[in-house]
Amino acid sequence: MSKSKLQPSEILDQIDELRQEVDEHFRDELVGEIYAQAHRVTQSTVKVLSKGPTWDQKLDWLLTHPIWGWPLMVLIFATVFWLTVTGANIPSAFLAGLLIEEGGLSSWGREYLNLDLPAGLSHSLYELLHMLFNGLHSPGWLTGLLLDGVYLCVAWVVSVMLPPMAIFFPLFTLLEDLGYLPRIAFNMDPMFKVTGAHGKQALTMAMGFGCNAAGVIACRIIDSPREKLIAIITNNFMICNGRFPTVIAIGAVLAATQAKGGFLGGSVAAFTVIAVVSLGVLLMFAVNYALSRTVLRGQSSTFTLELPPYRKPAILRIIYTSLIDRTLFVLARAVTVAAPAGVVIWLVANLSISGEPVGIYLVHLLNPLGWLMGLSGVILLAYIIAIPANEIVVPTIIMLIVLLSGTHGLELETGKMVETGTENLAKLLFAQGWTLQTCVCFLLFVLLHNPCGTTIWTIWKETHSLKWTALATLLPVAMGITICIIVANIWRLFS
Amino acid sequence: MSPKINTQPPIHSRNCSGCTACDPNTLTMQRLGIKLDGCDYVIALAGNPNTGKTTVFNTLTGLRQHTGNWPGKTVARAEGAFACQGKRYKLVDLPGTYSLLSASVDEEVARDFVLFGKPDCTVVVTDATALERNLNLTYQVMEITTKVVVCVNLIDEAKRKGIDVDIASLQKQLGAPVVATAARPNQGIDQLVQAVAGVVDGTLSCNPKLPPTPKKMQAIVERMLPMIKQMVPGLPSARWVAYRLIEGDHRIRQALLTGELAALYPISLPVTWAASAQEPKHV
């Protein structure tokens, strides 16, 4: 090497040659030396005088245990779902009586309070509004559009969605506030690594539990663009709170038809919810794996996750934020979508072409695909109407059934009045030819279909890519159709 | 050589600004919030997430940066100022990171500031209850700069958990000033400011005791050091730059190639600058 002044580029070329001689584990060794020295220094300077592990260390040992962590996680969530499903029954029936059912709250009073309520409560708001409109000599189409369309759809959304959300959100926020979510992320990290994704995806998934659009935005915490895309695409496999009430409602229907209510019924419903959520998580891992082996190939990057200390939950703040920020926010959005959807549904049921409502044509058109998927034309039509927001799928199905079959939801084909909200729904659906298989395929399709309009828009904003937005939108719906067809036809084969 | 620190607690309280009767070792500190102009020194705050780094920042500047219990993404750095004994200090709160090996954007922001921002002192805020893990970052900072103060924060929490940290011994073994603090109840902040003042004006010298270079690569690194020194004579961290070049760090290679680093570190002795580009004083 000459001693004369060399240019930086020449020196750097020499350095580049030198670095070829260093072996590839260089970085590990470098970090290893730092760790070793930090260990030596702390050994001689830090004395732990404590009497053994503190309660939070013991709790962490249990909650993040490689074996016990998993059943505990399932148990915790099962409890939350069980409380939600069983707890939602009574207020759900109350709201249905108050807002929709013939006879108002009288049947609810007999069922849950064991007493006859005063006659003033024996009319639902729906009936009172009908009386008012008739008294004002409102034209039939206007009454139909406003009451049987807009009002009924909004009222169904409120009575089906409000109670489970008002119970589930505070419970979930409680888990969040206690500091349990990062422990879940810790438990799941090995799975993400195996499937070629980033461990922080667990946190974005937890956000997706609330809202997929929020979950997609949360993917910003993942640094590697490849793993971020995987997390964005698979966020839809987490049941958002728009779809939660649907799953809970079907869980309650199964509880009412497969078990006779009570603790067992609640367990059936809670198990249904757990099964759907777990399947969503499994499929998410499967898609992670598939993506990281095909279009988004690569290794998982490492990261550090600090388990924050357990905190005493601030109960009042939890109730406030979960009821105001989440429940009312989601409900307001659902109602906003439900009102125009009510108009569409009423028009579909009442506009006629040569004597038959448009809805009947559409249902007949969709019936073959619906049958193939183990669903029905009505369900698929409800899905198409509900594309702007998943929240209103069940109310839309109820409305379509009610309007297309000529009853307004108070009486069924037997002419008998039904007792409670859930049983009402169960009888209504099973009277339409629903079976256990329909419920299963329906749940699968609830889990596996395109993200809602807001989420698709958010994915576009986060990725700025037509390709990835299209993949994130079409992949789940394609999976949903395929899986429903397979399940329905295997089921038919064996029954 | 171990650093000299006045470990005596100041007699006067922090807010006796302007009181001439004070003993010169006592602090007359003033929080300046976001009044950043005319600062004499730039101080960087580095540290792991959840060490109370932002609480230290808020205590010093009187600002109310949002503190969180969740490792979110603070890519932007917060800046504030304080004054002490006639000098104005600009404080830069770097994103909380576990290392500076630039695996992610926030680590790169923190690392680039310590190297290219050339702060007059970098305070590494550590968590007394998890010191071992926190020292990893401390060593990585000390590999880049010799002007370091180690702040062992959350010392009150450590006490509660029955953890005792021998500050004097730690200081000796690290070769850098160490100050124990509990930022929330405002303990030890005066000593921290004193240590920072000592490092920036050169009265407190640091001689970091860094982890050894791994044996297998010692020879190569030794051959690289003079080459790096030739490009950037004033670099306090030639060894660290050698590590990065071996790893193929593009940003560092580019900074050497374009002369960016050479312009930042022109002289071969440890020096102290006032931020206002005065004639550097040799120590």
- Let me know whether B63 and B196 are in one domain: yes
pLDDT at B271 over 70: no
User: Is residue B49, in this structure, part of any structural domain at all?
Assistant: yes
pLDDT confidence of B267, banded at 50, 70, 90? low
Which domain-ending residue is among B171, B200, B229?
Answer: B200
Whole-number Å distance between alpha carbons of A381 and A394: 12
User: Whole domain around residue B63: which residue ranges?
Assistant: 29-200
Contact A366, A380 (CB under 8 A): yes
Q: What is the mean pLDDT of residues A54-79?
A: 84
- Let me know whether B178 and B235 are in one domain: no
Contact A38 B216 (CB under 8 A): no
- Let me know whether B267 and B157 are in one domain: no
- The DSSP code sequence of A209-240 is HH-HHHHHHHGGG--SHHHHHHHHHHGGGSPP
Name the average pLDDT for chain A: 82
Residue B268, pLDDT score: 46
Question: Which of A33-42, A60-69, A106-115, B64-73 is the least confident region?
Answer: B64-73
Place of tokens 């757990």: A274
Contact A23 B262 (CB under 8 A): no
pLDDT confidence of B129, banded at 50, 70, 90? confident
- Let me know whether B264 and B185 are in one domain: no
pLDDT at A102 over 90: no
The separation between CA B268 and the C-alpha centre of its own chain, rounded to angstroms, equals 21
Domain count, chain B: 2
pLDDT confidence of B278, banded at 50, 70, 90? very low
- Let me know whether B104 and B235 are in one domain: no
- Let me know whether B182 and B228 are in one domain: no
Q: Which residue of B has its CA nearest to A55?
A: B161
Which of B140, B214, B227 is opposite residue A11, by nearest beta carbon? B227
Name the average pLDDT for chain B: 78
Residue A305, pLDDT score: 67
pLDDT at A146 over 60: yes
- Let me know whether B195 and B219 are in one domain: no
Contact A49 B164 (CB under 8 A): yes
**Residue pLDDT, tens place only, B167-176:** 999 999 999 9
Q: Which residue has the higher pLDDT, B134 or A220?
A: B134
Whole-number Å distance between alpha carbons of B41 and B50: 26
ipTM of the complex: 0.81
Write out residues 253-312 of A within 8 Å (CB-CB) of B.
Answer: 301-306, 308-309, 311
- Let me know whether B114 and B227 are in one domain: no
- Let me know whether B102 and B238 are in one domain: no
Q: What is the mean pLDDT of residues A421-431?
A: 73
Which domain-ending residue is among B152, B174, B200?
Answer: B200
Q: Which residue has the higher pLDDT, B114 or A409?
A: B114
User: Is residue B268, in this structure, part of any structural domain at all?
Assistant: yes
- Burial grade of A63 (CB within 10 A; 0-12, 13-18, 19 or more): buried
Strands B121-127 and B163-165: unpaired
B261, amino acid identity: L
Contact B259 A304 (CB under 8 A): no
Torsion angles phi and psi, residue B196, rounded to 5: -60, -45
CA dihedral A365, A368, A370, A374 (to 10 degrees): 160
- Let me know whether B240 and B183 are in one domain: no
Place of tokens 């009073």: A109
pLDDT at A121 over 90: no
Residue B139, pLDDT score: 95
- Let me know whether B57 and B147 are in one domain: yes
Residue B64, pLDDT score: 64
Q: Which residue of A has its CA nearest to B224?
A: A15
User: Is residue B262, in this structure, part of any structural domain at all?
Assistant: yes
pLDDT confidence of A180, banded at 50, 70, 90? confident
User: Is residue B8, in this structure, part of any structural domain at all?
Assistant: no
CATH code where residue B108 lies: 3.40.50.300
Of B140, B151, B149, give the one whose Cα is nearest residue B54.
B151
The nearest CA of chain A is from the CA of B181 a distance in Å of 16
Write out residues 122-181 of B within 8 Å (CB-CB) of A.
Answer: 131-133, 135-136, 138-140, 161-166, 169-170, 173-174
Residue A423, pLDDT score: 67
Residue A479 forms beta bridges with which residues?
Answer: none
| pTM of structure | 0.62
Residue A352, pLDDT score: 82
Whole-number Å distance between alpha carbons of B275 and B118: 10
The nearest CA of chain A is from the CA of B194 a distance in Å of 23
* B76 and A CB contact within 8 Å: no
User: Is residue B14, in this structure, part of any structural domain at all?
Assistant: no
User: Is residue B82, in this structure, part of any structural domain at all?
Assistant: yes
Give the number of other CB atoms < 10 A from CB of residue A495: 8
**Residue pLDDT, tens place only, B182-232:** 887 888 999 999 999 999 988 888 888 999 988 888 888 998 998 988 888
Contact B135 A41 (CB under 8 A): yes
Nearest 5°: CA angle at A282, between A167 and A258? 55
| DSSP strands (E only) in A330-452 | 352-353, 356-357
Residues in chain A: 495
- Let me know whether B124 and B234 are in one domain: no
Whole-number Å distance between alpha carbons of A304 and A319: 31
Torsion angles phi and psi, residue B97, rounded to 5: -140, 160
3-state SS assignment for residue A332: helix
**Residue pLDDT, tens place only, B70-97:** 344 344 567 888 888 888 899 988 888 8
pLDDT confidence of A145, banded at 50, 70, 90? confident
pLDDT at A160 over 80: no
pLDDT confidence of A73, banded at 50, 70, 90? confident
The nearest CA of chain A is from the CA of B126 a distance in Å of 13
Say what percent of chain A tops pLDDT 90.
Answer: 20
User: Is residue B209, in this structure, part of any structural domain at all?
Assistant: no
Residues of chain A contacting residue B263, judged by C-beta atoms under 8 Å apart: none
Q: What is the mean pLDDT of residues A140-159?
A: 85
Write out residues 154-213 of A within 8 Å (CB-CB) of B.
Answer: none
Tokens of A68: 């016990």
Q: What is the mean pLDDT of residues A359-364?
A: 87
